[in-house]
């Protein structure tokens, strides 16, 4: 977990669109100025925020961080004056010229930004999405009319008056009402600035509701950005599987994928045969 100061730096850098790696000192051999647990953020441009060691370690950390960001895979780096003697498999070595002679093992991994996710609805799909998303480092708020269950780590909000909600950055907004108050939730979501605005519904239903709401009183400008259907193309048969498809789309967006703009021909509420309850078709 990052310190409060590093988390604030990470939030600010992510708002600027920076990709970050996290470097953590996991082992040292004295003499060295660093300690196990020391941590820093590294940008693609090689800027270091935090502390992982002196000038001898920094070039190795910057190079490793840039490789990690390019490949999306972590690295374990050893900075040592005897790099030619290192035989451990899985270690990337860097020869240190520091006269102190100390050794640092530094684990470097991509930084996963905790994106704010606002889910509107109390449908089985909405609840499943909230439970899954909180385990994958989304900051989840669940809003709906009526009583909501308590889900560990998830903030619940009564009703669709969203102006009192605050987020550290533009949230992902997903409407998963599935026929239970679709218009109220979509109207509320359309008035909220969002990084992404998705509606869990078929292309046909999404287009019909969008056309109807465009002339409705109180509709916000973001209705034009509504994506329906939202979620990756999977053949699904349950609300839980629909939630997986939606979460997969959110993960792709969080990791730098493109926002989907062209609806697919067939979506979850058109696939489920026994009941249309999962998508409110």
Instruction: For each of the domains in the chain, give its residue range(s) and CATH number, in order of start.
Output: 4-110 (no CATH), 116-271 (3.40.50.720)
pTM, 2 dp: 0.65
Rounded distance between C-alpha atoms, residue 78 and residue 101, angstroms:
13
Model pLDDT for residues 142-196, shown as the tens digit of each residue: 999 988 999 999 999 999 999 889 887 789 999 999 999 999 999 999 999 999 9
Rounded distance between C-alpha atoms, residue 25 and residue 38, angstroms:
5
Q: Is 69 helix (H, G, I), strand (E, B) or coil?
A: helix
Model pLDDT for residues 197-256, shown as the tens digit of each residue: 999 999 999 999 999 999 888 899 999 999 999 999 888 889 999 999 999 999 988 877
How many other C-beta atoms are found inside a 10 Å radius of the C-beta of residue 40? 25
Rounded distance between C-alpha atoms, residue 254 and residue 228, angstroms:
18
Give the dihedral sign, CA 106/112/113/114: negative
């Amino acid at each position: 977990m990052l310190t409060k100061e590093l988390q604030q730096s990470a939030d600010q850098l992510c708002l600027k669109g920076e990709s970050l790696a996290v470097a953590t000192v996991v082992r040292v051999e004295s003499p060295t100025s660093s300690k196990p647990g020391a941590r820093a953020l590294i940008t693609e441009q090689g800027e270091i925020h935090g502390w992982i060691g002196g000038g001898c370690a920094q070039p190795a950390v910057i190079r490793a961080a840039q490789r990690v960001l390019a490949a999306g895979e972590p690295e374990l780096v050893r900075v040592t004056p005897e790099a030619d003697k290192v035989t451990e498999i899985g270690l990337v070595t860097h020869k240190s010229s520091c006269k102190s002679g100390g050794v640092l093992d530094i684990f470097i991994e991509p930084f996963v930004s905790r994106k704010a996710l606002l889910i509107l609805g109390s449908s089985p799909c909405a609840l499943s999405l909230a439970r899954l998303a909180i385990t994958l480092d989304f900051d989840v708020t669940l809003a709906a009319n009526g009583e909501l269950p308590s889900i560990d780590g998830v903030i619940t909000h009564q009703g669709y008056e969203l102006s009192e909600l605050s987020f550290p950055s533009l949230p992902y907004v997903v409407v998963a009402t599935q026929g239970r108050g679709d218009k109220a939730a979509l109207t509320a979501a359309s008035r909220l600035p969002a990084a992404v605005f998705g509606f869990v519904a078929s292309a046909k239903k999404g287009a019909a509701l969008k056309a109807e709401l465009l002339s409705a009183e109180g509709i916000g400008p973001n209705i034009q950005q509504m994506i329906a259907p939202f979620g990756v193309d999977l053949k699904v048969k349950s609300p839980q599987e629909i939630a997986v498809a939606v979460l997969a789309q959110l993960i792709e967006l969080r990791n730098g994928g493109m926002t989907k703009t062209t609806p697919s021909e067939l979506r979850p509420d058109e696939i489920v045969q026994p009941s249309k309850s999962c998508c409110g078709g």
